[in-house]
C-alpha cells in the first residue's frame, strides 16, 4: 500500500496503541483521535475514563504523532445510553457496543476522519476486511477468541471502503509481543471488559441512577402462571438467568421470558429456555443483496441458508433466514438454541464472512 494519511481511533488500550505504532512504522501519516463519550467523573475506571485519554495522549507523544480528543458526549447519550435504558425498561437485554460502533465510531468518527483529509480510519478491532472485484467483505479475525465481527455486522460497503482493521490477522499474544518489541509502555495493560459506561459492572445500579428510569414491582411466575415470588423491576432479569431470581422452587429455575406488558418474569426448568425460531428486525446486510437484480426485485420473502449466532460468545449454527419485509425476518435454526434473548443481535455468517444481522425482537 502506498503511504496514506490514516486516523487511528486510540482508546488508550494495547490494541489501538499497537495499530498506531504499526502504521507509523510502515511510513503512513498517522493521526490519533480519542473519543470523549462521557463526563470523566462518570467514567472512573472504565475505558472511557480520563486515565485512558491520558494513556492515549502519552502514546501519541511517544510515537510523535498528532493527537486530538473529540467530544461526542451528546451523541453518545442520545444514540447509545438512551437506548440502553429503554431496552432494559422494555424487558430486553441491550448490546451498547453495536450501536456505538454503528453510530459513533463508524459514522461520526469516520466523518471526522474524512474532514481531516484522511484516507482511512483504523481501529484495534479484531476483524478482517477484504476486497474482491470491487466488493468489500467483512470477515472473522484469525484469533477466534478475540473475533469482534458480531459487533460489526451493521457495516456496509461505504464504511468498509474507508476502514482498516490491522489486527485481524494477528493473535492477541502476537499483538502484545509486538507492543513489547516496539517498546510501548501499554504493552502489559489489561484489556477493558464489560460496558464502558458501567465500570463497576453493576448495570442495575447504573440504571437506577438514571433520572428517567423507574423501578416497578411485579410477579415472578412459572410457565403455568403460578406466582413464585416478586421482583423489583424486570430490568434485573435476562433470558437464561439462573442466579438471583429470589425464589425457592426446590429445583433449578431459569428466566424463560420477560413480559413487559404484564410487568412479570416467567421462569421454568432448563429445557424451557431452548428454542429454534425468532423474529429479527432492522436487518442490515454487508453487501447489497439486490445489487445484481432488476430494480423491481425486492428482498421480501427471500430465503437464505446461513450460519447464525444469537450471542457474542455463542457458536453459530445452521439457520434459515426468511425475509418478511426489507428489514424484518424470521430466523429458524436447525437445532434449538439456548436462551435466545430479545435485545441481542442475531448475526449471519457464511464460512468466515459476515453476511449481516439484525436485532432479536422476540422468540416465536
State in words which class domain 215-268 has.
Answer: mainly beta
* CATH number for the segment(s) 274-363: 2.40.30.10
Judged against a pLDDT cut of 90, whether residue 100 lies above it is answered with: yes
Is position 97 annotated as part of the catalytic site? no
- pLDDT digits over 133-160, tens only? 999 999 999 999 999 999 999 999 999 9
State mean pLDDT over 251-278: 97
Higher pLDDT, 89 or 43: 89
Query: Exposure pattern of 278-312 as b/e (b: 16+ CB <10 Å)?
Result: bbbeebbbbbebeeeeeeeeebeeeebebbbbbbb
Phi first, then psi, for residue 103 (nearest 5°) are -100, -25
The pLDDT value given to residue 144:
92
Q: Which of 47, 48, 97, 100 is catalytic?
A: 100
User: Where residue 184 falls among pLDDT bands split at 50, 70, 90?
Assistant: confident
Residue 197 CB contacts under 8 Å (≥ 6 apart), including other chains = 37, 38, 42, 43, 46, 48, 81, 96, 206
The pLDDT value given to residue 44:
57
User: Where residue 296 falls among pLDDT bands split at 50, 70, 90?
Assistant: very low
Judged against a pLDDT cut of 60, whether residue 110 lies above it is answered with: yes
Boundaries of CATH 2.30.30.280 in the chain?
215-268
For 86, 137, 325, 357, the CA distances from 156, given in Å and listed in that order, are: 26, 9, 19, 12
Boundaries of CATH 2.40.30.10 in the chain?
274-363
Cell numbers representing residue 101 in the block: 460502533
Closest CA to 59 of 124, 5, 118, 149: 124
Boundaries of CATH 3.40.50.620 in the chain?
5-181
Percent of the chain with pLDDT over 70: 93
The pLDDT value given to residue 292:
47
Q: Which of 47, 48, 97, 196 is catalytic?
A: 196
Is position 47 annotated as part of the catalytic site? no
Fold of 5-181: Rossmann fold (3.40.50)
- pLDDT digits over 60-77, tens only? 999 999 999 999 999 999
Higher pLDDT, 215 or 21: 21
Amino acid at each position: 500500500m502506498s503511504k496514506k494519511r490514516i486516523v487511528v481511533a486510540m482508546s488508550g488500550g494495547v490494541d489501538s496503541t499497537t495499530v498506531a505504532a504499526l502504521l507509523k512504522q510502515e511510513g503512513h501519516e498517522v493521526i490519533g483521535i480519542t473519543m470523549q463519550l462521557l463526563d470523566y467523573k462518570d467514567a472512573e475506571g472504565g475505558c472511557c475514563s480520563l486515565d485512558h485519554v491520558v494513556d492515549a495522549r502519552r502514546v501519541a507523544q511517544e510515537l510523535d504523532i498528532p493527537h486530538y480528543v473529540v467530544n461526542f458526549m451528546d451523541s453518545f447519550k442520545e444514540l447509545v445510553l438512551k437506548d440502553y435504558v429503554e431496552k432494559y425498561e422494555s424487558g430486553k437485554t441491550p448490546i451498547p457496543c453495536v450501536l456505538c460502533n454503528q453510530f459513533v465510531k463508524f459514522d461520526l468518527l469516520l466523518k471526522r476522519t474524512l474532514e481531516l483529509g484522511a484516507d482511512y480510519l483504523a481501529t484495534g478491532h479484531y476483524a478482517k476486511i477484504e476486497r474482491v472485484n470491487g466488493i468489500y467483505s467483512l470477515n472473522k479475525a484469525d484469533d477466534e477468541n478475540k473475533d469482534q465481527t458480531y459487533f460489526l455486522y451493521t457495516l456496509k460497503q461505504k464504511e468498509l471502503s474507508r476502514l482498516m482493521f490491522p489486527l485481524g490477522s494477528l493473535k492477541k499474544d502476537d499483538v502484545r509481543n509486538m507492543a513489547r518489541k516496539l517498546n510501548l509502555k501499554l504493552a502489559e495493560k489489561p484489556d477493558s471488559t464489560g460496558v464502558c459506561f458501567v465500570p463497576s459492572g453493576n448495570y442495575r445500579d447504573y440504571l437506577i441512577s438514571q433520572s428517567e428510569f423507574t423501578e416497578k414491582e411485579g410477579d415472578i411466575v412459572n410457565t403455568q402462571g403460578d406466582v413464585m415470588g416478586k421482583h423489583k423491576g424486570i430490568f434485573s432479569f435476562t433470558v437464561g438467568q439462573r442466579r438471583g431470581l429470589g425464589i425457592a422452587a426446590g429445583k433449578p429455575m431459569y428466566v424463560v421470558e420477560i413480559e413487559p406488558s404484564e410487568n412479570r418474569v416467567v421462569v421454568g426448568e432448563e429445557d424451557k429456555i431452548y428454542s429454534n425460531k425468532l423474529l429479527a428486525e432492522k436487518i442490515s446486510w454487508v453487501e447489497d443483496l439486490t445489487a445484481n437484480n432488476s430494480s423491481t426485485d425486492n428482498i421480501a420473502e427471500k430465503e437464505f441458508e446461513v450460519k447464525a449466532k444469537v450471542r457474542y460468545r455463542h457458536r453459530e449454527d445452521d439457520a434459515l433466514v426468511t425475509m418478511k419485509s426489507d428489514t424484518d425476518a424470521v430466523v429458524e435454526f436447525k437445532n434449538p438454541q439456548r436462551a435466545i434473548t430479545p435485545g441481542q443481535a442475531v448475526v449471519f455468517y457464511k464460512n468466515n464472512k459476515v453476511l449481516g444481522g439484525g436485532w432479536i425482537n422476540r422468540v416465536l
